[in-house]
Amino acid sequence: MTQPTPAARAADPILELRDAAKSYGAVRALRDGTLALRPGEVRALVGENGAGKSTLVKLLAGVIRLDGGTMLVDGEPVDFHSPTAARDAGIAVIYQEPTLFPDLSVAENVVMGRHPRGALGRIDRGAVRRQVQELLDRLGVKLAAERPVRGLSIADQQIVEIAKALSFDARVLIMDEPTAALSGPEVERLFGVVRALRERGAAVLFISHRLAEVFAICETVTVMRDGQVVHDTRTADISADELVRRMVGRELGALFPKEQAGVGAEVLRVHRLTREGVFTDVSFAVRAGEIVALAGLVGAGRSEVARAIFGIDRPDAGHVEVGGVRLPRGRPSAAMRAGIGFVPEDRRQQGLVMDLSVQRNVTMTRLRELARGGLLRASAERRLAREWAERLQLKYHRLEDPVGFLSGGNQQKVVLAKWLATEPSLLIVDEPTRGIDVGTKAEVHRLLSELAGRGVAILMVSSELPEVLGMADRVLVMHEGRLTGELSRAEADEERVMRAATGQVEAAA
């Protein structure tokens, strides 16, 4: 390092990341991660879903370790082997969903493991309450130290986490989408706390999808895209439009061909569907032969809408019609009978029974038809499974092997086969290509396109913009539980979708 000038030394970073790299297997989640946090700085970290923000946060929090590059605290290289190590270095992370002890008091949550003690190691309860109340008062919040955490709002729980960080004398606060679950006044209060922290010389890394907030509270901003830090600037020097462009600015390949198909009659109609606190007043329709993508950022409520349509979650208001017939609320079996297939987001947990064989997983939705007199006919099961394995070009060793033996892409094909075997008129796919390799991804896309060509209506929830733009005939965009945009294939481009997804435009449709 060259000799710094006195002025620069005053602002030497507390925490610095240089050329950080992290891979999960063959997937490079982060490379060239460079970031510096100086005392009194509030820095925003923005980027699309999967841009590598979470990986970066986990590195700083000591949850995962670097594969390459260096991390420095006060200019000294460090290697956090655990969250406790990061904490001891003065780094505190406030997650969107705080990790607290619901059964214990606010005060105990703050001091757990470090209770102030009096004679003979007895906990000094008075001191606990005093210390924590003082912290809370310093944060300028009305919260009683002795009340239990159970029943606190997310906003108040975050305040408890911040108080905890202060009690550690944390100098770096990382806030991972802290405002996602907060109301307007609660956000204002949080910002007040953040400003107070800044005055005290702490550095704050603020991760948010809400660009308005980024401009309101942050002086500097780091933009990530595809696992890389691509831009680092002062918020005063960049416009919101420019920021969005930096976030998405990627060439759209011709990887996702959707064949043109004749759009037929309306298959699905969703009418003013609402689930309190999750999504509100969602209405749209999907026609036969059409692929409709539900785009938006993580937590916008897309998967929840899909689950409510299929009847896994019960909506509080509104209804769903399939082929003009209203579905009863909260009954997946009725949805299946009406011809809906549902490929869930998390195939390991919800889509497959990992210990069962490939063939049993494929035929699971058809067991009733395959049975005679209540007994499953092995030959029929086998025939059906083999037929679908061939149609989807499934790569397997034996049909009797547990489905867990297959690769991620092939597992996803099994889930698809399972639902295609029911010959659905509407297929809901939630993140159909998450975590699968490029080759299989293209096959899944080809398959979806082919299905649409044969007149199946497809509702696709996807966080990958190229996939959305390449596959969809129509793009619906959600932001914080509401539909904020509807774009035709011709209208849809990355910027428009991102703008709607970050709430930059209100209900363009």
- Decide if residue 400 touches other proteins (CB under 8 A): no
481 phi-psi bin (left φ>0, alpha ψ -120 to 50, beta other): left
For position 367 contacting other proteins by CB under 8 A, the verdict is: no
Nearer to other proteins, 159 or 293 (CB): 159
The answer to whether 171 and 90 have CB atoms below 8 angstroms apart is yes
Q: Is 209 in the site for other proteins (CB under 8 A)?
A: no
Instruction: Out of 144, 265, 353, 509, name the contact with other proteins by CB under 8 A.
Output: 144
**Smallest distance from the beta carbon of 149 to other proteins, in angstroms?**
9
505 contacts other proteins (rule: CB under 8 A): no
DSSP letter, residue 277: T
Residue 407 interacts with other proteins (CB under 8 A)?
no
Judged by CB under 8 A, which stretch of 15-23, 118-126, 414-422, 455-463 contacts other proteins?
118-126
Nearer to other proteins, 187 or 389 (CB): 187
Residue 167: how many other CB atoms lie within 10 Å: 16
Using rule CB under 8 A, residue 169 touches other proteins: no
Verify binding: residue 485, other proteins, rule CB under 8 A: no
Q: Is 91 in the site for other proteins (CB under 8 A)?
A: no
Compare residues 93 and 472 and give the one whose CB is closer to other proteins. 93
Tokens standing for 183?
């109301």
Stretch that binds other proteins, among 19-27, 114-122, 287-295, 428-436 (CB under 8 A): 114-122
Give 388's Cβ-side CA count (13 Å radius): 29
Q: Scan residues 305-364 and list those touching other proteins (CB under 8 A).
A: none
Q: Which of 115, 319, 331, 391 binds other proteins (CB under 8 A)?
A: 115
Give the residue with the Cβ less far from other proteins, 72 or 85. 85
Q: What are phi and psi of 97, to 5 degrees?
A: -110, 105
Q: Report, in Å, the least distance between residue 198 CB and other proteins.
A: 25
Strand partners, 234: 220
Among residues 396, 426, 430, the alpha carbon closest in space to that of 410 is found at 396
Strand pairing report for 426-430 and 457-461: parallel
In three-state secondary structure terms, 377 is: coil
Q: Which of residues 21, 64, 72, 181 is near other proteins by CB under 8 A?
A: 181
Contacts with other proteins in 46-85 (CB under 8 A)? 83-84
Q: Could you say which of 4, 77, 102, 328 contacts other proteins (CB under 8 A)? A: 102
- Helix, strand or coil for residue 483? strand
Q: What are phi and psi of 171, to 5 degrees?
A: -105, -15
Which span (109-117, 216-224, 356-364, 438-446) binds other proteins, by CB under 8 A? Answer: 109-117
Among 39, 40, 69, 148, binds other proteins (CB under 8 A): 148
* Main-chain dihedrals φ then ψ at residue 478, nearest 5 degrees: -110, 145
Total residues contacting other proteins (rule CB under 8 A)? 41
Instruction: Out of 45, 46, 60, 152, point to the residue binding other proteins (CB under 8 A).
Output: 152
Q: Which one, 148 or 404, has the nearer CB to other proteins?
A: 148
Q: Report 461-480 residues binding other proteins (CB under 8 A).
A: 480
The correct pick among 8, 27, 126, 153 for binding other proteins (CB under 8 A) is 153
Least spacing, CB of residue 317 vs other proteins, in Å? 12
Sign of CA dihedral 56, 61, 64, 67: positive
The DSSP call for residue 117 is B
Residue from 16, 48, 108, 430 that binds other proteins (CB under 8 A)? 108
Could you identify the residue written with the tokens 């005063």? 236
* Residues 6+ away with beta carbon under 8 Å from 196: 138, 139, 140
User: Binding of other proteins at residue 99 (CB under 8 A)?
Assistant: yes
Q: How many CB atoms lie within 10 A of CB 326?
A: 12
Examine residue 125 and tell whether it contacts other proteins (CB under 8 A): yes
Q: Provide the 3-class DSSP secondary structure of residue 30.
A: strand
The residue (of 193 and 221) whose beta carbon lies closer to other proteins is 193
Residues ≥6 apart with Cβ < 8 Å to 59: 17, 20, 22, 30, 33, 65, 66, 71, 80
- Strand partners for 345: none
Largest CA distance in the chain: 87
Among 217, 304, 258, CA closest to 41: 217
Place of tokens 């086998």: 382
CA 468/CA 434 separation, integer angstroms: 13
Tell me which of 117, 138, 272, 326 binds other proteins, using CB under 8 A: 117
Name the segment binding other proteins (CB under 8 A); options: 12-20, 214-222, 251-259, 277-285.
277-285
With tokens 């209804």, the residue in question is 319
Distances from the Cα of 122 to the Cα of 118, 126, 128, 131, 239, angstroms = 5, 12, 12, 16, 56
Q: Which token pair is 367?
A: 């067991």
Q: Is 446 in the site for other proteins (CB under 8 A)?
A: no
**Residue 127 touches other proteins, criterion: CB under 8 A:** no
Q: How many CB atoms lie within 10 A of CB 13?
A: 18
Among 65, 81, 138, 147, binds other proteins (CB under 8 A): 147
Tell me which stretch binds other proteins (CB under 8 A): 17-25, 150-158, 204-212, 250-258: 150-158
183 touching other proteins, by CB under 8 A: yes
Across-strand partners of 73?
15, 76
Under rule CB under 8 A, residue 89 binds other proteins = no
**Least CB distance from residue 108 to other proteins, whole Å?**
6
Give the footprint of other proteins on this chain (CB under 8 A): 83-84, 87, 99-104, 108, 112-115, 117, 121-123, 125, 142, 144, 147-148, 150-154, 156, 181-186, 276-278, 280, 480-481
